Structures are given as C-alpha cells and as structure tokens.
Structure 1
C-alpha cells in the first residue's frame, strides 16, 4: 500500500522571493533551484524523522508573524548557532531538552525558524 514518506516542503508567500532565498542561502547555508532544498540522503542521525505538529494557539510561533514555523534539522546546533552569532544573526533563544537541542531565529519576512539537533531516536 502507498504511504507518505516525509515532508515535501513548506510553501508560503513573501514580498521578495529572491531576497528570501538569498537569506536562506547566505544565513542558513541551504540553497536549491526552486528554493532552499534539504537532501535526506545527507542525514546521518539514528532514525531521523520529521513531524507535523499542531498547536492550540500561536504562542510557540511568536515572535514570528506567520501562522506557521519552519523546523530545520542541524547536525551540530552549538557550532551552527556560534557561526550565526559570529555573523551578527540574532538568535532568539537556545535550549537543550534532552531528546534534542533547539534554537530559534526569524527569517527576513518574520517567519520563525526553529533549528533542531535530534539527540535521541524516537521511542
């Protein structure tokens, strides 16, 4: 039987797509022909996964101005955040929840970006 196998993408409207794509390329290091592209074949973690998460209100998405957030996996959050800060990028917060490390920033259109390093395989 056919089944869903992963997240295909996140699509949203911005004022200047070229500028937003350049920000993702220059700030987060992800680029592609149609926008930032993530290749799952490059993931080396133990049982990596993506999820679609639902919230009762938008408190977790703040201070983002959109009704959604983009979660991006990273292989070494501490190094990635240090590099962002060295380049003057405003990192809103950073936490270690045990099962994963998280950090947050806003893209140039006010969309909240959550960076996530998976530390444990799902149960």
Structure 2
C-alpha cells in the first residue's frame, strides 16, 4: 500500500498572515489567493493528471495546529486515507481526530514521533 504520495501543503504561523501573503506575492511572485497560494503540478507517471500543493500562513493565535505547540504543519497527500489510518492505528500512531470529507478530499490529523501535528489528505482531483 502506498502511504504518502507527495506534499499537499505547507502551513505556518506568523504575526500578520495578510501582510505575509502580500510580501511573498510582491517579492517572490507567488500567485496568491485568500488562503495563501496554490502551486499546480502534474503527477507522475500520468503527466496529464494535475495536482496541487497549498501554501498558507495562519495567525499566531491559531489553535489549528494544536495539540502541537509548533508553528508549522505539513499536509501530506495520500491515496487511501481510510486504509492508511487503520494501519497507523495498529502501529501505535496517535490519530488526533476523525476523518472529515469535503468536496475536495478527505482529511485527518496525526502526531509524528515528536508530537508535531501532521495533516493527511486524500484529494479528490
């Protein structure tokens, strides 16, 4: 079973997400949107299948990364989230919440070996 297939997003905290987004747009040319920036790319081996990676600044006061006290969170793309969660449970990995489904995919949060919150995403491309 494949587990992680790529990076789905990079999330971090900062003092002013709006200003940070504007800075990255102005100085590094990110094509920004209300959620940060979305990088589109093509999956291999099927080079016609478009995918994306999200870049999002969050306010320093967010609780979204809890229970981790780190100021970042990585989102990993996976192929079969439900099966992976079952395997991770048998391996003793802490599952923070239950799988949620949205029109753009399924999500769940886990903790890595040092207590960093990690988001797993099965996209609906």
When normalised by structure 1's length, the TM-score is 0.58
How far off is 1:48 after superposition?
1.0
Structure 2 residue 50 is matched with structure 1 residue 47: yes
**Ranges of 4+ aligned residues in structure 1 off by more than 6 Å:** none
Q: CA RMSD in A?
A: 2.7
- 1:66 corresponds to: 70
Provide the aligned length of Structure 1 versus Structure 2. Answer: 84
- 1:115 corresponds to: 120
The structure with the greater share of residues assigned to strand is 2
- 1:106 corresponds to: 111
Structure 1 gap segments, 5+ residues each: 1-6, 11-39
The structure with the greater share of residues assigned to helix is 1
> In 2, Cα distance between the equivalents of 1:84 and 1:43?
28
Structure 2 gap segments, 5+ residues each: 1-6, 11-42
